[in-house]
Amino acid sequence: MNKKESIISTAKKTIEMEGQAISNLTTLLDNDFTETVELIYKSKGRVIVTGVGKSAIIATKIVATLNSTGTPAVFMHAADAIHGDLGLILKDDVVICLSKSGDTPEIKVLVPLIKNAKNKMIAITGNRDSFLGKQADYVLNAYVEKEACPNNLAPTTSTTAQLVMGDALAICLLELKGFSKKDFAKYHPGGSLGKKLYLRVQDISSVNMKPQVFLDTSIKEVIIEISEKMLGVTAVIENDKILGIITDGDLRRMLSKVDNVFALTAKDIMSSNPRRIEADALAVDALEIMEANGISQLLVEENGKYAGVVHLHDLIKEGII
């Protein structure tokens, strides 16, 4: 086996080992998991997630997932907790402790302090019989038979199991809360998904120039209007109503068919009843119309009046695509 084949082989073994361990977690789910979900769902406080070492890193990801799916959560490093950060935990908070062994020194110091404060504590651990497992009110069993590390030392499979258990917890809470796409967008306004759920056509078209001509506008003026407004299109209007559209493509086709182009006006080459979209429609709806019709611009209407243009490039720029 050459070097490249060896690398691929090791990668496959790692993925397969971790995949098998994750699949096995489904057999470890029990009443403690459902009780944990219900406890957090009914809680008036936050979820404090703590751990040490690699488990602390996983804890921060679980906190991020909980927060983004509607369950307020805060990360607290187990080592820092016993040096002042314990004050993060409020009366109604639920605490989740992550530890593969459940017997690390920091956890042994921290757990009694949490118990004394009478906060409910959930353990995510691979050892139910550990100090943490025995002291916790509920245990989410994240047992793995072996780390992907060939020396069975570096936390790999075990931390993946912790992360997946946290994801399962967050998604169960999401469903109980009826957390919708619109709710998700509130927490992710800068992301592409958030923009798909809240960005309106008018948010884009309002910053574009507004190309427009009239039925009797000369072809020369039409060309100038399209060029100056830089959207590759102009609306043909009358009394602020859209009558038609002229695109760069229309101009090119006209030039190939007509000798005396400057004798023409906008009404001679416009396409009537063009595709259009309401200003308050979602930008993602504009994209769907463009894709369905093989076009790159849409005229925008507001209260029946011409309001501007939205271009495919605008949607790309905003990350809608």
Looking only at the bridges linking them, the beta strands covering 212-213 and 138-141 are unpaired
Q: Are 205 and 309 in contact (CB under 8 A)?
A: yes
Res 259: pLDDT: 78
What is the spatial distance between Cα 81 and Cα 23, in angstroms, rounded to a whole number? 33
Residues 26 and 118 in one domain: yes
Residues 16 and 118 in one domain: yes
Q: Is the pLDDT of residue 17 over 80?
A: yes
Whose tokens are 């271009």? That residue is 311
Q: For a pLDDT cut of 70, what percent of the chain falls above it? A: 97
Residues 105 and 210 in one domain: no
Res 189: pLDDT: 65
Examine residue 193 and state whether it is found in any structural domain, yes or no: no
Question: How confident is residue 188, by pLDDT bands cut at 50, 70 and 90?
Answer: low
pLDDT in tens, 263-318: 889 999 999 989 999 999 999 899 999 999 999 999 999 999 999 999 999 999 88
Q: Which residues contact 294 (CB under 8 A, 6 or more apart)?
A: none
pTM value is 0.69
Residues 116 and 53 in one domain: yes
| DSSP sequence for 143-172 | --S--SSTTS-SSSHHHHHHHHHHHHHHHH
Examine residue 191 and state whether it is found in any structural domain, yes or no: no
Given 179, 212, 239, the domain boundary residue is 179
Res 82: pLDDT: 82
Strand partners, 250: none
Examine residue 190 and state whether it is found in any structural domain, yes or no: no
Looking only at the bridges linking them, the beta strands covering 297-302 and 138-141 are unpaired
Residues 155 and 217 in one domain: no
Range 200-203, long-range pairs (CB < 8 A, 24+ positions): 200/279, 200/280, 200/281, 200/282, 200/283, 201/277, 201/278, 201/279, 201/280, 201/281, 201/282, 201/283, 201/285, 201/286, 201/298, 201/300, 201/310, 202/279, 202/280, 202/300, 202/302, 202/307, 203/283
What is the spatial distance between Cα 84 and Cα 82, in angstroms, rounded to a whole number? 6
Q: Is the pLDDT of residue 190 over 70?
A: no
DSSP assigned state of 188: -
Res 260: pLDDT: 81
Question: How confident is residue 146, by pLDDT bands cut at 50, 70 and 90?
Answer: very high
| Count of structural domains within the chain | 2
pLDDT in tens, 233-272: 999 999 999 999 999 988 888 888 887 878 889 999 999 9
Examine residue 192 and state whether it is found in any structural domain, yes or no: no
Q: Is the pLDDT of residue 207 over 70?
A: yes
CATH of the domain at 245: 3.10.580.10
Residues 263 and 232 in one domain: yes
Range 76-84, long-range pairs (CB < 8 A, 24+ positions): 76/48, 76/49, 76/50, 77/50, 77/51, 77/52, 78/50, 78/51, 78/52, 78/104, 78/106, 78/107, 78/110, 79/52, 79/106, 81/50, 81/110, 81/113, 82/106, 82/109, 82/110, 82/113
Q: For a pLDDT cut of 90, what percent of the chain falls above it? A: 77
Residues 175 and 205 in one domain: no
Residues 105 and 134 in one domain: yes
Examine residue 224 and state whether it is found in any structural domain, yes or no: yes
What is the spatial distance between Cα 240 and Cα 237, in angstroms, rounded to a whole number? 6
Examine residue 114 and state whether it is found in any structural domain, yes or no: yes
Residue numbers of the domain that contains 50: 3-179
Residues 19 and 158 in one domain: yes
Decide which of 4 and 195 is more confident: 4
Average pLDDT over residues 105-133: 94
Q: Is the pLDDT of residue 166 over 90?
A: yes
DSSP assigned state of 310: E
Strand partners, 180: none
Average pLDDT over residues 197-220: 92
CATH of the domain at 73: 3.40.50.10490
Q: Are 246 and 266 in contact (CB under 8 A)?
A: yes
Examine residue 221 and state whether it is found in any structural domain, yes or no: yes
Q: Is the pLDDT of residue 192 over 80?
A: no
Q: Which residues contact 301 (CB under 8 A, 6 or more apart)?
A: 242, 276, 277, 278, 279, 307
Distances (CA, A) of 185 to 70, 194, 278, 288: 11, 4, 21, 19
Res 257: pLDDT: 83
Q: Is the pLDDT of residue 53 over 70?
A: yes
Q: Is the pLDDT of residue 187 over 80?
A: no
Residues 247 and 172 in one domain: no
Q: Is the pLDDT of residue 1 over 90?
A: no
Residues 128 and 239 in one domain: no
Q: Is the pLDDT of residue 196 over 90?
A: no
Residues 111 and 169 in one domain: yes
Average predicted confidence (pLDDT) for the chain: 92
Q: Is the pLDDT of residue 182 over 90?
A: no
What is the spatial distance between Cα 8 and Cα 262, in angstroms, rounded to a whole number? 66
